[in-house]
A and B are shown apart, each in its own frame.
Chain A
Amino acid sequence: MPPRLRCAAARGLGCTVNTARIAKHSAVLLLPLAPATVSVSRQYATAAAAVSQLSGFRLPDDYVPPTKPPTARPADTRKSQLLRTYTSLLRSTPLILIFQHNNLTAVEWAAVRRELRLALGSIASEGADSAEIASRAQLQVMRTRILDVALKIVEFHDPSSVAPTTVSALTGDRVQVVYNHDLSKAAYKAVRAATKQPDAPPLPESSAYVQIAPLLVGPLAVLTLPAVSPAHLAAALSVLAPSPPAFPAPSKKKSPGYYDPVAQGGFQKLMLVGGRIEDKVFDLEGVKWVGGIDGGLDALRAQLVYLLQSAGLGLTTALEGASKSLWLTMESRRSVLEEEQSGGKEAEKKESS
């Protein structure tokens, strides 16, 4: 029976096992050969002067360092790749709902995702964004520990503050490079300094990681929406975590698939434990509150504008009030005086006549 490995990985492993080949290429590395001797090659140096100097130092394209054998795991599920995916997800996604999933079967996952897609797709809200948000919404299972690390990196590692390091290039020059990616030593040290130091002060309660850390237990799945859209959130809540008065489950007539026993089994095993909305951590009630905002962010902005306008109006009337009342009293006094004068004149006229 052939080894059960993916083709690319198997080829890579084969390279490592093939010692004769490695020996041959390490010899290539050691001895600067004439360029004509190596046929298939990849070049590292780009400067023109360096090429002429280093034309002998070439690695074959399929060279595998003997100390770094290729992994047999597919690229998209490697831990490093997962970490990168999660950090970019956390940085770019404003609305994340965290679910605990208790042993859902594959068919149940499929049913849950189908119903979620149907519910999100049937939202009749204004704008072309609605369909875009619905199509980008994803319910995905996360690796809990890696998500934990990703949350730490997102909060404690600031890529812009990393100092450049000096490394020697292949040509022998010293060059300044900034290694500030999420898998860098700088990121590791920043996270470690914030969380693992024994003499460090405890993290403040306001820190988002401290708030969300207790949720990261057991098997987790997250629902990510690419924008804070209360309408979509409400639709997702009514499917995944229905609570009758505000977020009722879809009716039997409208979506019969929701009451399919397989789908129901899936929904019963999904448990909404919390959410992260625009870097703030919300519990179930908080998520429901966000989902219950009528009209979305635009309505909130309109409310704020109205509030500010009416406050300005009140202020101007209050400031005007004093001068207005002064004017009113003066005016009334003047009218009284005029009346008295005119009354006096009339009386004089009467007396004279």
Chain B
Amino acid sequence: MITRFITEVATRFNPFSARAKSARLFLTCLPPSARSSGMNITTQLLPRSSTEPSSLHIKFKDGKEMKVDCEAMGIKSIIEEVDRHSRLLQKAADLSDG
């Protein structure tokens, strides 16, 4: 996953719900140096009885906010979705650098 262009990740989920899987796995996809390189990661754990759907908000460097529906999507499709925008930013960055 391209994480260079992500500035903020905010997740909320109830770990006792099976639907929280993709949100939890998304957190494991972030590199070890994510926080030190300026990414803002916040996680809120909901209590066990809560039925609130799990949510995942991602903000990019260009200001785009992405609200991923992680109830229905698996981790692969979430990564694909995030990478789709990251690749655009990568392309722009490569052009401006080169």
The size of the chain B interface, using a CB distance under 8 A, is 20
Q: Is B28 an interface residue (CB 8 A)?
A: yes
In the complex, which of the residues A102, A104, A272 has the most CB atoms of chain B within 10 Å of its own CB atom? A102
Chain A, interface SS category: mixed
Q: Report yes or no: B21 in contact with A273, Cβ–Cβ below 8 A.
A: no
- C-beta contact mask, B21-40 vs A, less than 8 Å → 1, else 0? 10011011011100110000
Q: How large is the interface on A (under 10, 10 to 19, 20 to 34, 35 or more residues)?
A: 20 to 34
**A283 nearest in chain B by CB position:** B48
Q: How far is the CA of A214 from the CA of B18 in the complex (A)?
A: 5
Known: A102-B30, A211-B16, A268-B35. A284 touches B24 (CB 8 A): no
Q: Report yes or no: A274 in contact with B15, Cβ–Cβ below 8 A.
A: yes
Q: Report yes or no: A284 in contact with B25, Cβ–Cβ below 8 A.
A: no
Q: How far is the CA of A10 from the CA of B43 in the complex (A)?
A: 46
Q: How far is the CA of A274 from the CA of B15 in the complex (A)?
A: 8
Known: A268-B41, A274-B16. A218 touches B25 (CB 8 A): yes
Known: A268-B35, A268-B41, A273-B45. A102 touches B28 (CB 8 A): yes
Q: How far is the CA of A274 from the CA of B30 in the complex (A)?
A: 22
Q: Report yes or no: A283 in contact with B15, Cβ–Cβ below 8 A.
A: yes
- C-beta contact mask, B44-82 vs A, less than 8 Å → 1, else 0? 010110000000000000000000000000000000000
Q: Is A122 an interface residue (CB 8 A)?
A: no
Q: Give the chain B neighbours of A283 by CB distance below 8 A.
A: 15-16, 47-48
Q: Report yes or no: B24 in contact with A100, Cβ–Cβ below 8 A.
A: yes
**B34 nearest in chain A by CB position:** A103
Q: Give the chain A neighbours of B17 by CB distance below 8 A.
A: 214
Q: Report yes or no: B35 in contact with A265, Cβ–Cβ below 8 A.
A: yes
Q: Is B20 an interface residue (CB 8 A)?
A: yes
Q: How far is the CA of A108 from the CA of B36 in the complex (A)?
A: 13
Q: How far is the CA of A217 from the CA of B43 in the complex (A)?
A: 16
Q: How far is the CA of A217 from the CA of B36 in the complex (A)?
A: 25
**Of the candidates A214, A219, A268, which one forms a contact with B15 in the assembled complex, judged by CB atoms under 8 Å apart?**
A214
Q: Report yes or no: A103 in contact with B31, Cβ–Cβ below 8 A.
A: yes
Q: Report yes or no: B32 in contact with A214, Cβ–Cβ below 8 A.
A: no
Q: 20 extra interchain contacts, Cβ-Cβ under 8 A, other than A108-B32, A269-B35?
A: A100-B15, A100-B28, A102-B28, A102-B30, A103-B28, A103-B31, A214-B21, A217-B25, A218-B27, A219-B28, A268-B35, A271-B45, A273-B45, A274-B16, A274-B48, A283-B15, A283-B47, A283-B48, A285-B48, A286-B48
Enumerate 21 A-B pairs (CB-CB under 8 Å) in ascending A order.
A100-B27, A103-B28, A103-B32, A215-B15, A217-B21, A217-B24, A218-B24, A218-B27, A261-B36, A265-B32, A268-B35, A268-B41, A269-B35, A271-B27, A274-B16, A283-B15, A283-B16, A284-B45, A284-B47, A285-B48, A286-B48
